[in-house]
Amino acid sequence: MTKYSNKKCRFVILISGRGSNMQELIKTCNSDNWPAEISAVISNNPKAAGLDWANNNYINSTYLDSSKYSNRDDFDRDLSIEIDKYSPDYILLAGFMRILGCSFVRKYYGKLINIHPSLLPAFPGLDTHGRAISSGVRIHGCTVHFVSPELDSGPIIAQGYVNVFSKDTVEILSERVLEIEHKVFPSVAHWLTLNEVILDKDDKVSILNNHNGLFYL
């Protein structure tokens, strides 16, 4: 049995929509009694369904409406102010559909963790499932990685793999990838609470206790 320290790992979670990865992470954290505290859920979308879910589960939640900002720097500044209220150990991007500026990323480098719906470096950016089908790949999946200033290119922590079938549509493949996301992201978050993910000065990731960072559906 793993022995937990008395210090809880503090997470702030960023979302833009329903926050299904956020929900799965929080439910797993609570059911498995992680040494963690979900300090806040923050969205750039005031209508994000995930905010209602967080409120209903007694988690601090708020939003900064990114559509009201004329430039990225102002939004990033206010988001940083809001995040810093909670002094998080890690900031988890769980379907946060907004590009963060270089200054913001550098400030929190090593604390920002994102989940992306492809096997990076393949298919960075949007429409990952459609591009995977169009390209003819037979393996697709998701990647959990540290966020770097270059989009979807930070050091990789873990990846989840799914098959791509000839009759797959974007919707079908999306659901299959989401299923593996719900395994990979909570696992990585748990490793973080146990200090088992190490990012060294050369941006190389090590995972302790024989976790190999590979998941299969």
Delimit the domains of the chain by residue range. 8-108, 115-217
Beta-carbon count within 10 A of 35 CB: 17
Tell me what pLDDT residue 210 has: 87
21 appears as a binding residue in the annotation: yes
* pLDDT tens digit sequence for 52-79: 999 999 999 999 999 999 999 999 999 9
* pLDDT tens digit sequence for 167-215: 999 999 999 999 999 999 999 999 999 999 999 999 999 999 988 999 9
Topology annotation, domain 8-108: Rossmann fold (3.40.50)
Predicted TM-score (pTM) of the model is 0.95
Strands 205-207 and 197-199 come out as: antiparallel
Q: How confident is the model at residue 7 (pLDDT cuts 50, 70, 90)?
A: confident
Which residues form the catalytic set? 116
CA angle at 13 for the pair 38 and 76, rounded to the nearest 5°: 135
* Contact (CB, 8 A) for 181 and 160: yes
Q: What is the arithmetic mean of pLDDT over 29-58?
A: 97
136 appears as a binding residue in the annotation: no
Tell me what pLDDT residue 6 has: 63
153 appears as a binding residue in the annotation: no
Pick the CATH number of 115-217 from 2.30.30.30, 1.10.10.10, 3.40.50.170, 3.40.50.2000: 3.40.50.170
Fold match flag (8-108 vs 115-217)? yes
Tell me what pLDDT residue 131 has: 98
Mean pLDDT of the chain: 96
95 appears as a binding residue in the annotation: no
- Cis status, amide bond into 121, omega within 30 of 0: yes
- Between CA 164 and CA 138 the distance in angstroms is 5
